[in-house]
DNA sequence: GCCGTTTTCGGCCCGACTGTTTTCAGTCG
């Protein structure tokens, strides 16, 4: 059982307990534990083997015992009992907008239905109005909620959310009186997937903003429209909400809306330590006589986030770090990393040309890369066994090498081209070309595209075998995941990273917003182990090259600096590294 | 259920918005 399965189990428990009406803090504890497992970076089973489960944040005695039971038996008596009490199917109702645990519980208890289909029929038949606290509007809201569920498939990839949010922001900035507009929430923290789009606007007068926002093109429904907050749904089911704050409190508002929740809990605590209560509006002096957070004569307003952090005695923390993964402590100790930036990237070590499945010739790709400030690129056209991509035979490679020589002459020192290959790690763990041939390439990037559903041991061994091949320099998109649809291979990532740290092989952060693989958590673990990271676009076209932005976002979330990423090194240093690897 | 340079007990997330309400409960972020 891996971390995600454990986390899913605890999330289910939290949902069922909530419907049951258990005290909210108990359900929060299960959710916190689930989140913590997802961000752990190592398998919980390792903590388990060492008897250190309770060292995982948010895991105490009770949850540690449950993890122990799950890992030893694959089952959980507590959950089985709970499911008998509260039908598991009800948990899926919670995904319906406008339905929360209270109403789910109430509807189930009064009408005795458990399936989403029955809920829909009941709503259509008008059986929900008349239930306590529900009227015709609630019924319609539930029906619309069920309909929107089928339209939207959960969270959307960052690569879709980000441009969409930017276009909304551009339109809001045109509204008269708008001083600033910024993304917030997981979008601003650059998580790989985003639920709803959160946008924050600074303006004295909110009415014009709300008017513009609810009248954006392609808005299919206005879900709510108030003085400070409005939310909308687009035709494709994507939802966005906007908050408007006066400019003088934009800093606290943006900090608050950016989250994460856990980061903000710590921020509020730091404020309290200084006798201040922090809200999205301002800091207020805590009244010492009552101990309550109100009744202050003097409010502190912050127009910028820098002021917010300064007020609690911290340097500004980049949004990508705000996950309560040690950033507050690092900021306190003045040990925040100087995060990598887009401009630091000087090399792109995975891209494809018309030699395999790319859309442009090598010359066109090289020129497009140079235009974007790249000094070194590697053509990693696919290897022979990946037939659908037009993979190259060794004979093809000879011809490709000759063409590279020719265009290199044409390009001069504008950009350096490396002759490389994305070599398939085959199902048996062998590579697609013999060692002698691999040794002749400038760079070898090995990755998996097939048989990703092999059992954990087998697929893990496969990658480790590639890592131990002395000719392999980079492992490309290690898990093979596709966002949001396909989970990656069931890898023992700790074992893989240990092997990589022994051999010095670099691990890729594939910058395609549909991959972002390694993810932030494992990339951070890789850094801890001293493994070099390579951020590559995997570009098949010119537009793909601009996706490197998302790769940098993952790297920033992983606390990486430019020294950790081989693509930021000088050409000399990069070539020296390759040479030391036998190239 | 977790957690503790105040604490092993008593805090934890609170405010805007909506709908069904005559003063409030539930949802959501």
Query: pLDDT tens digit string along A50-60?
Result: 999 999 999 99
- For nucleotide B24, the protein residue with its alpha carbon nearest to C1' is A133
* Contact criterion met (CB below 8 Å) for A451 and A486: no
State the nucleotide closest to A59 in CA–C1' terms: B2
Closest CA to A351 of A165, A571, A105, A542: A542
pLDDT higher than 50, residue A293: no
Distance A384 CA to B3 C1' (A): 56
pTM above 0.85, yes or no: yes
The first and second tokens of residue A418, run together, are: 């490396």
Residue A145: band (very low, low, confident or very high) from pLDDT cuts 50, 70, 90? confident
- For nucleotide B18, the protein residue with its alpha carbon nearest to C1' is A224
State the nucleotide closest to A230 in CA–C1' terms: B17
Mean pLDDT of A178-197: 92
State the nucleotide closest to A102 in CA–C1' terms: B26
Distance A287 CA to B27 C1' (A): 31
- For nucleotide B1, the protein residue with its alpha carbon nearest to C1' is A26
Write down the pLDDT at residue A184.
94
A247-268 pLDDT, tens digit each: 999 999 999 999 888 898 889 8
pLDDT higher than 50, residue A295: no
More confident residue, A284 or A521: A521
Distance A580 CA to B29 C1' (A): 51
| pLDDT, averaged across chain A | 91
State the nucleotide closest to A262 in CA–C1' terms: B13
Which structural domains are found in chain A, ordered by start? 3-151 (1.10.150.110), 156-245 (3.30.460.10), 266-332 (3.30.210.10), 342-580 (3.20.20.140)
Distance A444 CA to B22 C1' (A): 74
Residue A430: band (very low, low, confident or very high) from pLDDT cuts 50, 70, 90? very high
Residue carrying structure tokens 């003097």:
A298
State the nucleotide closest to A198 in CA–C1' terms: B29
Measure the CA–CA gap between A256 and A524, rounded to whole angstroms: 25
Residue A390: band (very low, low, confident or very high) from pLDDT cuts 50, 70, 90? low
Write down the pLDDT at residue A476.
96
* Contact criterion met (CB below 8 Å) for A474 and A504: no
Q: Give percent helix, percent strand, percent coil of chain A, each to the nearest 5.
A: 50, 15, 35
Lowest mean pLDDT among A103-112, A124-133, A212-221, A285-294: A285-294
State the nucleotide closest to A131 in CA–C1' terms: B20
Measure the CA–CA gap between A105 and A94, rounded to whole angstroms: 10
State the nucleotide closest to A29 in CA–C1' terms: B1
The first and second tokens of residue A8, run together, are: 């899913």
- For nucleotide B12, the protein residue with its alpha carbon nearest to C1' is A25
Distance A153 CA to B12 C1' (A): 33
pLDDT higher than 50, residue A290: no
Cβ neighbors of A574 (< 8 A, separation 6 or more) are A347, A376, A566, A567
- Protein CB footprint (7 Å) on chain B nucleotides: 1-3, 6, 11-21, 25-29
Write down the pLDDT at residue A169.
95
For residues A415-434, one letter each, b for 16 or more C-beta atoms within 10 angstroms of the residue's C-beta and e for the rest, the string is bbbbbbbbbbbbeebebbbe
- For nucleotide B5, the protein residue with its alpha carbon nearest to C1' is A273
Distance A60 CA to B8 C1' (A): 14
Distance A278 CA to B6 C1' (A): 21
């Amino acid at each position: 059982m891996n971390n995600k399965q454990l986390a899913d189990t605890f999330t289910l428990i939290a949902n069922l307990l909530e419907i049951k009406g258990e005290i909210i803090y108990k359900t929060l504890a299960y959710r916190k534990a689930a989140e913590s497992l997802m961000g752990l970076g190592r398998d919980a089973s390792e903590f388990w083997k060492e008897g250190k489960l309770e060292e995982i944040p948010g895991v105490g005695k009770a949850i540690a015992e449950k993890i122990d039971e799950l890992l030893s038996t694959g089952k959980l008596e507590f959950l089985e009992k709970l499911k008998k009490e509260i039908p598991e199917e009800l948990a899926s109702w919670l995904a319906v907008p406008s339905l929360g645990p209270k109403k789910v519980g109430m509807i189930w208890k009064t009408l005795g239905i458990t399936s989403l289909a029955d809920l829909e029929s009941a709503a259509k038949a008008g059986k929900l109005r008349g239930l306590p606290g529900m009227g015709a509007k609630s019924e319609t809201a539930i029906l619309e909620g069920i309909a929107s569920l089928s339209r939207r498939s959960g969270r959307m990839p960052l690569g879709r959310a980000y441009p969409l949010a930017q276009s909304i922001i551009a339109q809001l900035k045109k509204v008269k009186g708008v001083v600033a507009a910024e993304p917030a929430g997981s979008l601003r923290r650059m998580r790989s997937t985003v639920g709803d789009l959160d946008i924050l606007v600074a303006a004295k007068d909110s009415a014009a903003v709300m008017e513009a926002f609810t009248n954006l093109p392609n808005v299919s429904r206005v879900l709510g429209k108030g003085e400070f907050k409005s939310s909308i749904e687009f035709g494709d089911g994507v939802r966005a909400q906007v908050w408007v704050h006066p400019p003088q409190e934009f800093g606290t508002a943006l900090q608050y809306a950016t989250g994460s929740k856990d980061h903000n809990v710590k921020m509020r605590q730091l404020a309290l330590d200084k006798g201040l209560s922090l809200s999205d509006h301002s800091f207020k002096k805590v009244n010492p006589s009552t101990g309550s957070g109100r009744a202050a004569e003097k409010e502190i307003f912050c127009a910028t986030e820098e002021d917010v952090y300064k007020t609690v005695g911290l340097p500004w923390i980049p949004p990508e770090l705000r996950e309560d993964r040690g950033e507050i402590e690092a900021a306190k100790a003045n040990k925040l990393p100087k995060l990598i930036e887009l401009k630091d990237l000087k090399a792109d070590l995975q891209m494809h040309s018309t030699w395999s499945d790319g859309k442009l010739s090598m010359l066109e790709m090289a020129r497009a890369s140079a235009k974007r400030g790249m000094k070194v690129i590697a053509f990693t056209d696919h290897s022979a066994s990946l037939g659908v991509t037009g993979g190259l035979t060794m004979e093809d490679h000879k011809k490709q090498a000759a063409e590279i020589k020719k265009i290199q002459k044409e390009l001069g020192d504008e950009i350096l081209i490396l002759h490389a290959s994305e070599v398939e790690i085959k199902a048996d763990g062998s590579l697609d070309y013999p060692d002698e041939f691999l040794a002749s390439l400038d760079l070898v990037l090995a990755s998996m595209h097939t048989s990703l559903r092999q059992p954990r041991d087998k697929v893990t061994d496969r990658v480790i075998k590639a890592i131990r091949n002395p000719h392999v320099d980079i492992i490309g998109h290690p898990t093979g995941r596709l966002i949001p649809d396909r989970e990656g291979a069931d890898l023992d990532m700790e074992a893989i990273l240990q092997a990589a740290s022994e051999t010095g092989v670099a691990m890729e952060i594939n910058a395609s917003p549909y991959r972002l693989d390694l993810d932030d958590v494992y990339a951070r673990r890789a850094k801890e182990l001293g493994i070099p990271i390579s951020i590559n676009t995997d570009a098949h076209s010119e537009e793909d090259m601009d996706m490197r932005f998302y790769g940098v976002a993952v790297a920033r979330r992983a606390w990486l600096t430019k020294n950790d990423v081989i693509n930021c090194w000088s050409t000399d240093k990069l070539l020296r590294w390759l040479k030391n690897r036998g190239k």
